[in-house]
């Protein structure tokens, strides 16, 4: 699996290259600036891009904008964005086209190699990997005044958070130490209470949940 990596801090970039290589990924390019990233994404057609939001020369959101531009040229290009802080605007921009194959993680997550590599693989396979802190903020935005969310049981909220992170029923069951059948029941209840169409497609249901959580009140 070929990866284009964009990170301006040399030590972190080098560490990510070593980690991904150790887990069997091929590093097609490891760059440090927006222009280099745009060129690599255009010329190398990677299987997945792992991109720091803030890159030279602007150090604003150049990495994110380069990735979004590449997805407009190549719809569905898998992109995993790394950020120092939770920025809901970045999550909204990534989710806007509804194509999936996106991820948004805080940089702290890269220090858990298995969690980070799992996110890269999930995104590369067309799935979604959203940072738990992003989901927590989206949930907190939709306060107790939101009646559908208020009707969820504590266990259903746990399932909702894991679903929104991009986990399958099997992954949720393993995390909560329950059966997949129990998770399926909770999922059906969640979709019914939130007024969302039930779907067996993991990525589609994640996008539906995230769209619901991020909609204007």
Q: What is the pLDDT of residue 100?
A: 82
Evaluate whether 108 touches 132 at the Cβ level (below 8 Å): no
Q: What domains lie within the chain, and their CATH numbers?
A: 2-130 (3.40.50.2300), 135-214 (3.40.50.2300)
pTM of this structure: 0.84
- The sign of the torsion formed by the CA atoms of 194, 195, 198, 199 equals negative
C-alpha angle with apex 29: 25 to 33, nearest 5 degrees?
A: 130
Tokens coding 163: 């679903």
Evaluate whether 3 touches 120 at the Cβ level (below 8 Å): yes
Evaluate whether 11 touches 52 at the Cβ level (below 8 Å): no
Is the pLDDT at 206 greater than 90? The verdict is no
Q: Distance (Å, rounded) from C-alpha 188 to C-alpha 149?
A: 14
Q: What number is the average pLDDT over the span 20-37?
A: 97
Q: What number is the average pLDDT over the span 115-127?
A: 94
Nearest-CA neighbor of 133 among 159, 103, 156, 165?
Answer: 165
Is the pLDDT at 135 greater than 90? The verdict is no
| pLDDT tier, 216 (very low <50, low <70, confident <90, very high otherwise) | low
Q: Distance (Å, rounded) from C-alpha 203 to C-alpha 167?
A: 9
């Amino acid at each position: 699996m070929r990866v284009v990596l964009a990170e301006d801090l040399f030590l972190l970039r080098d560490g990510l290259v070593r980690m991904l290589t150790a887990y069997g990924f091929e590093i097609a390019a490891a760059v440090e600036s927006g222009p280099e990233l745009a060129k690599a994404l255009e010329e190398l057609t990677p299987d997945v891009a792992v991109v720091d939001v803030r890159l030279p020369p602007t150090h604003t959101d150049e990495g994110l904008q380069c990735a979004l531009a590449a997805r407009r040229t190549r719809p569905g290009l898998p992109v995993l964005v790394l950020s120092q802080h939770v920025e809901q605007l970045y999550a909204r921009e990534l989710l806007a086209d509804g194509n999936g194959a996106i991820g948004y993680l805080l940089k702290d997550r890269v220090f858990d190699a298995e969690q980070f590599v799992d996110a890269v693989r999930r995104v590369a396979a067309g799935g979604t990997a959203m940072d738990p802190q992003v989901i927590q903020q989206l949930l907190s935005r939709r306060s107790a005044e939101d009646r559908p969310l208020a009707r969820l049981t504590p266990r259903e909220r746990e399932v909702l958070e894991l679903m929104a992170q991009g986990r399958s029923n099997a992954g949720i069951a393993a995390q909560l130490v329950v059966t997949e059948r129990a998770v399926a029941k909770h999922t059906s209840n969640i979709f019914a209470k939130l007024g969302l169409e039930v779907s067996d497609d993991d990525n589609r249901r994640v996008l539906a949940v995230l769209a619901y959580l991020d909609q204007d009140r």
